[in-house]
């Protein structure tokens, strides 16, 4: 109930149109209710006959004309009502879609780690549609049904109390049945919607991961997975639909059985001259007036039930607290120097700590290489600096200010991240590069591309910087994508730069070109380079080696070699590999360390 009330409050934002819909609904229903009375009156008039034949014919013609007029007027108001109700409901779905999208933009990584993309997609399409149906059908149409039932009841009681009681005796039966069905149906539809969400996830992952599927020849596995989920959707929807059908069939049986009963008792009342034939006709017409609305009760109950379950799913997202929240009066960074300090930072994604008691002081403009085995926490540590997650313990400061005190937009526009998994949008190359800096001039875009060593390749594309990439566009190689994402980050000109494994998929030649260019770029910027290859860290002044979420070693490359720990082992291993000619890049880290 609370859920439906919340949707109603959103619809109430469209006050004037909602009021218009209701006003036209009331007028249309009153006109509708007057038709049986007019017809009943005409029948009685025709049977009893007037003073003279000519006059009564004229009156009957007038009565016929009035009925036609009333029907036409009712049609006009009905149109106004449908139009206004529809426009309110469209506006509600528009508003909810926007609210959902805005919310999704501001939920932190932790939320997206949990929620499946496909599920979110089904929420923002199917569930929003359910809400729209609720507004147009539930909020307006249910009013019409109530008015028709009450109006018919009043008209019937005014004519004959006993027959009215008999005629209306089926209404509470249907209402009780509807309420019972509603509770059952709600659970069924919720289940069906959950299964549909899962199906969308399977589909979305399959489409996004087509290359992996093909590469592993996993088509059959994927087909089975889809089949299984598709079956679940079929089953749950089928069960819900079956329950819905048997419910509305039962309602019709109850209804038509009551018509027989009215004829039986009404006929006797006419014979006893308690009511006129016109009045009996009225009763039958009023009951038939209720056929359509009563049949709709089942549908309406469903609309309510489905809107309630869809609402529950949507409000789960809309109400989801974002663990990373901005302070009420956040600090805005300006003229960032770029000092960064991690003070005894501990963080976990859930169970085990991914980062344990990490302390690290970085002075402005310093270049830090982060090394360590896969899963040692390098990416996580950097995610904490950008505040994609909040630390569980300790603090991270930029220029001496705790990142939790800084507005998210100003923090992130000063920290440029080249992420490990490159994601590019289906847009032009230029648009992708200027993604974080919408007002970038073409010169700035080209400069960023040149620094990232991708300019020449962009120019060689069919439409140069205007080439559309991604789906239904030109495909780029892994290395090109990586350099494009470097250009995108450079375009925002951040004071702090994080390069997460950014040169892993480029060849040695390109890498050394990027390194050379980077040595220009990183001047005056605090730079974190996460790398596995020693060749990638030639600019580093400080090497931090991580192991299981902790800092295992830290120092200049020379110091670390002398210490003879993990770093030395990696160095020796890669050096040996080079000697065997597998890698073409020499890894004389030590000498580079001294030169920097």
Ligand X SMILES: Nc1ncnc2c1ncn2[C@@H]1O[C@H](COP(=O)(O)OP(=O)(O)OP(=O)(O)O)[C@@H](O)[C@H]1O
Which residues form the interface with ligand X (CB under 6 A)?
113, 349, 354, 372, 374-380, 420
Q: Does 503 bind Mg ion (CB under 5 A)?
A: no
375 binds, among ligand X, Mg ion, none (CB under 5 to 8 A by kind): ligand X
Q: What does 256 bind: Mg ion, ligand X, none (CB cut-off 5 to 8 Å by kind)?
A: none
**Smallest distance from the beta carbon of 83 to ligand X, in angstroms?**
48
374 binding partner (options Mg ion, ligand X, none; Cβ < 5 to 8 Å by kind): ligand X
Tell the smallest beta-carbon distance from residue 347 to ligand X (Å): 9
DSSP-assigned letter for residue 366: -
In this structure, the number of other CB atoms found within 10 A of the CB of residue 132 comes to 23
Measured between alpha carbons, how far is 552 from 501 in angstroms, rounded to an integer? Answer: 19
Distance in Å, CB of 410 to ligand X, minimum: 25
Q: Give which of ligand X, Mg ion, none residue 108 binds (C-beta under 5 to 8 Å, depending on kind).
A: none
Q: Report, in Å, the least distance between residue 409 CB and Mg ion.
A: 25
* Cβ pair 274, 160 in contact under 8 A: yes
- Residue closer to ligand X (CB basis): 141 or 378: 378
- For ligand X, the closer CB: 323 or 375: 375
The nearer residue to ligand X, 336 or 544, going by C-beta atoms, is 544
Binding partner of 349, given Mg ion, ligand X, none, CB within 5-8 angstroms per partner class? ligand X
267 interacts with, out of Mg ion, ligand X, none, CB within 5 to 8 A per kind: none
469 touches 475 (CB < 8 A) = yes
**Residues contacting Mg ion: total by CB under 5 A:** 2
For ligand X, which is the closer residue by CB, 228 or 349?
349
Output the CA torsion sign for 111, 116, 117, 122: negative
End-to-end CA distance of the chain: 67
Is residue 354 classed as helix, strand or coil in its secondary structure?
Answer: strand
Contacts of 188 (CB under 8 A, 6+ apart): 236, 239, 240, 243
Task: Report the relative pairing of strands 367-372 and 496-500 from DSSP bridges.
Answer: unpaired
CA distances 114 to 86, 107, 424, Å, are 35, 11, 22
Residue 376: contacted member of Mg ion, ligand X, none (CB under 5 to 8 Å, by partner type): ligand X
For residues 143-164, one letter each, b for 16 or more C-beta atoms within 10 angstroms of the residue's C-beta and e for the rest, the string is bbbebbbebbbebbeebbeebb
Pick between residue 111 and residue 528 the one whose CB is nearest to Mg ion: 528
Q: Which of 135/534 has CB closer to Mg ion?
A: 534
Identify what 509 binds: Mg ion, ligand X, none; CB under 5 to 8 Å per kind: none
The C-alpha atoms of residue 232 and residue 243 are separated, in whole angstroms, by 17
CB 326, min distance to ligand X, A: 21
Q: Which residue is nearest to Mg ion (CB)?
A: 379
CB of 423 to ligand X, least distance (A): 15
Q: What is the rounded distance in angstroms from the CA atom of residue 305 to the CA atom of residue 296?
A: 14
**Bridge partners of residue 139, in order along the sequence:** none
Q: Considering beta carbons, is residue 142 or 419 the nearer one to ligand X?
A: 419
Closest approach of Cβ 344 to ligand X, in Å?
18
Which among Mg ion, ligand X, none contacts residue 462 (Cβ within 5 to 8 A by kind)? none
With contacts defined by CB under 5 A, name the span among 5-13, 214-222, 419-427, 561-569 that binds Mg ion: 419-427
For residue 150, the surrounding DSSP H or E stretch is: helix 142-159
Cβ-based nearer residue to Mg ion, 184 or 532: 532
Q: From start to end of 378-484, where are the E strands?
A: 393-398, 401-402, 415-418
Residues 6+ apart with CB under 8 A from 341: 360, 361, 362, 396, 397, 400
Look at residue 557 and give its three-state secondary structure.
helix
Q: To the nearest whole angstrom, how small is the minimum distance from the Cβ of residue 417 to Mg ion?
A: 12
Candidate segments 129-137, 201-209, 241-249, 415-423, binder of Mg ion by CB under 5 A = 415-423
Report the distance separating Cα 444 and Cα 516, nearest Å: 19
Interface stretch with Mg ion, choices 269-277, 418-426, 464-472, 490-498 (CB under 5 A): 418-426
Q: How far is the CB of 321 from ligand X (least distance, A)?
A: 18
Could you tell me which stretch among 115-123, 412-420, 510-518, 586-594 binds Mg ion (CB under 5 A)? Answer: 412-420
Query: 323 CB contacts (<8 Å, ≥6 apart)?
Result: 108, 110, 389, 390
The CA R_g of the chain, rounded to the nearest whole Å, is: 36
Residue nearer to Mg ion on the CB measure, 379 or 482? 379
The Cα–Cα gap between 86 and 275 comes to 42
H or E segment and range at residue 421 = none
Smallest gap, in angstroms, from Cβ of residue 381 to ligand X? Answer: 7
- Comparison of 75 and 375: residue with beta carbon closer to ligand X: 375
Name the minimum Å distance from CB 418 to Mg ion. Answer: 12
Nearer Cβ to Mg ion (352/460): 352
Q: What is the spatial distance between Cα 329 and Cα 1, in angstroms, rounded to a whole number? A: 36
Nearest alpha carbon to residue 298 among 368, 232, 227, 250:
250
* DSSP H or E run through 348: strand 340-348
Q: Of the two residues 501 and 511, which places its CB atom closer to Mg ion in the complex?
A: 501
Region 368-407 residues binding Mg ion, contact defined as CB under 5 A: 379
Query: Nearest distance from residue 397's CB to ligand X, in Å?
Result: 21
Kindly list the residues in this chain that would bind Mg ion in the complex (CB under 5 A): 379, 420
């Amino acid at each position: 109930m609370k859920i439906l009330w919340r949707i109603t409050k959103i619809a109430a934002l469209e006050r004037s149109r909602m009021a218009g819909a209701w006003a036209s609904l009331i007028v249309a229903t009153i006109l509708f209710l007057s038709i049986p009375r007019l017809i009943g009156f005409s029948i009685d008039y025709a049977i009893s006959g007037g003073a003279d034949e000519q006059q009564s014919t004229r009156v009957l013609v007038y009565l016929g004309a009035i009925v036609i007029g009333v029907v036409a007027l009712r049609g006009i108001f009905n149109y106004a009502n449908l139009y206004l109700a529809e426009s309110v409901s469209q506006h509600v779905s528009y508003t909810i879609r926007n609210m959902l999208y805005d919310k999704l933009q501001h939920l932190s990584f932790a939320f997206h780690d949990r929620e499946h993309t496909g599920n979110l997609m089904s929420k923002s399409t199917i569930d929003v549609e359910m809400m729209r149906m609720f507004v147009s059908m539930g909020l307006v149409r249910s009013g019409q049904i109530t008015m028709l039932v009450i109006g018919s009841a009043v008209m019937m009681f005014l004519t004959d109390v006993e027959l009215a009681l008999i005629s209306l005796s089926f209404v509470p039966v249907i209402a009780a049945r509807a309420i019972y069905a509603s509770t059952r149906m709600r659970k069924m539809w919720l289940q069906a919607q959950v299964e549909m969400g899962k199906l969308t996830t399977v589909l979305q992952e399959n489409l996004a991961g087509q290359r992996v599927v093909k590469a592993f020849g996993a088509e059959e596995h994927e087909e089975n997975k889809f089949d299984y989920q598709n079956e679940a959707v079929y089953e749950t929807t089928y069960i819900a639909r079956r329950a819905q059908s048997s419910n509305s069939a039962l309602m019709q049986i109850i209804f038509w059985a009551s018509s027989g009963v009215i004829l039986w008792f009404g006929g006797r009342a006419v014979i006893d001259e308690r009511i006129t034939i016109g009045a009996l006709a009225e009763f039958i017409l009023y009951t038939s007036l209720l056929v359509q609305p009563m049949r709709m009760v089942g549908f309406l109950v469903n609309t309510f039930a489905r809107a309630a379950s869809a609402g529950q799913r949507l409000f789960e997202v809309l109400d989801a607290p974002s663990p990373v929240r901005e302070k009420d009066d956040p600090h805005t960074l300006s003229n960032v120097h770029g000092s960064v300090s991690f003070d005894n930072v501990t963080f976990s994604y859930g169970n085990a700590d991914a980062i344990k008691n990490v302390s690290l002081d970085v002075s402005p403009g310093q270049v830090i290489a982060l090394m360590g085995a896969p899963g040692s926490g390098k990416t996580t540590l950097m995610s904490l600096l950008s505040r994609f997650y909040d630390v569980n313990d300790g603090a991270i400061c930029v220029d001496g200010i705790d990142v939790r005190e800084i507005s998210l937009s100003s923090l992130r526009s000063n920290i440029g991240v080249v992420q490990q998994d490159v994601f590019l949008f289906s847009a032009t190359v230029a648009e992708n590069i200027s993604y974080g800096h919408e007002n970038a001039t073409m010169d700035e875009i080209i400069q960023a591309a040149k620094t990232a060593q991708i300019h020449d390749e962009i120019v060689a594309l069919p439409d140069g910087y205007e080439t559309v990439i991604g789906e239904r566009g030109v495909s780029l190689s892994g290395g090109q994508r990586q350099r494009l994402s470097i250009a995108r980050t450079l375009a925002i000109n951040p004071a702090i730069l994080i390069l997460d494994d950014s040169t892993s998929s480029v060849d040695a030649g390109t890498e050394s070109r990027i390194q050379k260019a980077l040595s220009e770029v990183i001047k005056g910027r605090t730079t974190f380079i996460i790398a596995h290859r020693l060749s990638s860290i030639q600019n580093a002044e400080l090497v931090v080696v991580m192991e299981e979420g902790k800092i295992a070693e830290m120092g200049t490359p020379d110091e670390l070699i002398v210490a003879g720990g993990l770093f030395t082992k990696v160095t020796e291993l890669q050096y040996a590999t080079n000697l065997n000619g597998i890698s073409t890049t020499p890894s004389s880290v030590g000498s580079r360390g001294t030169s920097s």
